[in-house]
Structure 1
């Protein structure tokens, strides 16, 4: 009986907890790079990539046509990938937690700072948060910033946007209560 109560309390605590950050195991994974051209500078810890880029680091997958990676002295990566006139740059990462929850986005340019866990997508940007293949949140705009630590989205228009062009941002956000119960 005590075991059943403990199990129920544990499950209740898991359901009540809606904290799902980026997959922490990603930090310790190696970077796998594929591109038509890769230039590596071990002294400065920089990588330049050109043509059909595929970057994989744990659950993180980044694609694009032109990219640059800078690794800081602490080992954190700053990734900057651009698309081409024919393709967009994209980012996908599994979020920490018991379910299949992902953040995925695309745009003209994707930047990700592994130290601050801030993802920025620029140029006809879109970002989705999904759980078990079901879309929970969806954002569209010129520039989308997602801070994974603070779990905050920000969509901003281009600097030269005119008031008659607004709204330039769109968001569909699922109620957190429902999303928590479905986990």
Structure 2
């Protein structure tokens, strides 16, 4: 019975972790990119930025060594960010629901599908939820898929997006939530 209760509490905690609301106002903001170099292929609609790449759009901040942006005929963008050897690409975005709530992630490669609003983190993947400057929840694995629309993510122990026995372990740290229904 004690194991069942512990498992139920862990599942409830993970459910709270997946409730990550990205700031909706970011969608209406202009995208600004800084890099050491840029190449643009107008025919293929591919833009490549290389060297200390920094992308900002509203509260979104993305950093990598190389970023490739492909645009489809409907105007949706697919972004792939690559880390420099020995480092990690990263993103950070303000969340709706409070004045100081953030989601951030790091990995060797990060892909973002603008049309489906899915972020995929590959190799040494890590996502954290922050509130008032403090980490409230954190997950680590070789692969994280984060669906920003459904507010749902999965974590796997291989960078191929699946889990295999003996391939390593994922890790989740879920902080206790304050009970706001009790009087002080």
The 3-state SS of whatever aligns with 2:26 is helix
Alpha-carbon contact 1:118-1:148 (below 8 Å) kept: yes
**d(CA) in 1 for partners of 2:94, 2:44:** 29
Alpha-carbon contact 1:68-1:80 (below 8 Å) kept: yes
> Which residue number corresponds to residue 15 of structure 1?
none
Residues 43/165 of structure 1: CA separation in 2 closer, same or farther (3 Å cut): closer
> Which residue number corresponds to residue 89 of structure 1?
89
Residues 180/52 of structure 1: CA separation in 2 closer, same or farther (3 Å cut): farther
Residues 180/53 of structure 1: CA separation in 2 closer, same or farther (3 Å cut): farther
Q: C-alpha displacement at 1:124, in angstroms?
A: 0.8
**d(CA) in 1 for partners of 2:142, 2:179:** 27
Q: C-alpha displacement at 1:163, in angstroms?
A: 2.9
Alpha-carbon contact 2:157-2:164 (below 8 Å) kept: no
**d(CA) in 2 for partners of 1:21, 1:31:** 20
Alpha-carbon contact 1:20-1:97 (below 8 Å) kept: no
Gaps of 5+ in 2: 1-18
Q: C-alpha displacement at 1:43, in angstroms?
A: 4.7
Gaps of 5+ in 1: 1-18
- Two-structure CA RMSD over aligned residues (Å): 2.5
1:137-168 CA distance string (max 9 Å, x none): 100010111112222121112259763444x2
Residues 162/150 of structure 1: CA separation in 2 closer, same or farther (3 Å cut): closer
TM-score with structure 1 setting the length: 0.77
> Which residue number corresponds to residue 129 of structure 1?
129
Larger helix percent: 1
> Which residue number corresponds to residue 9 of structure 1?
none
> Which residue number corresponds to residue 173 of structure 1?
174
The question of 1:60 aligning with 2:60 is answered: yes
Q: Which runs of 4+ in 1 moved over 6 A?
A: none
Q: C-alpha displacement at 1:98, in angstroms?
A: 2.9
Alpha-carbon contact 2:31-2:55 (below 8 Å) kept: yes
TM-score with structure 2 setting the length: 0.76
> Which residue number corresponds to residue 23 of structure 1?
23
Alpha-carbon contact 2:69-2:78 (below 8 Å) kept: yes
